[in-house]
Amino acid sequence: MAIKAQVAPSLELLGITKAFDGEKGDKTVSVLHPLTLKVEKGQFVSIIGPSRCGKTTLLKIIAGLENPSAGQIFIDGNKATHNKNRKIGRAHV
């Protein structure tokens, strides 16, 4: 009987949320509600939805161009949330 080792997902989002201050600063607008997602190596994932539902915001968060309001991101099992040394979405010059 072979024992299969547990491998961390290539991308794992745990409870990701994002909120912005309203236009007049008096109201917070939630654009991403708690989102949990696991993408295994080799999987193909599409993010679809209507205009202004948070697709681009989610991709910016995954790429490290935007910080989530809450939650954590792991890439290949390594914590990537608020990590300025991430290699996704940033050019290292």
Between 59 and 91, the more confident residue is 59
Average pLDDT over residues 9-21: 93
Domain assignment present for residue 3? The answer is no
User: Tens digit of pLDDT for each residue in 23-43?
Assistant: 776 788 899 999 999 999 999
- Write the CATH number for 23: 3.40.50.300
Query: What is the reported pLDDT for 8?
Result: 79
Average pLDDT over residues 72-81: 91
Domain assignment present for residue 68? The answer is yes
- Alpha helices by DSSP H, listed for the chain, are 55-63
How far apart CA 44 and CA 42 sit, in angstroms, is: 7
pLDDT at 69 over 90: yes
Average pLDDT over residues 36-59: 94
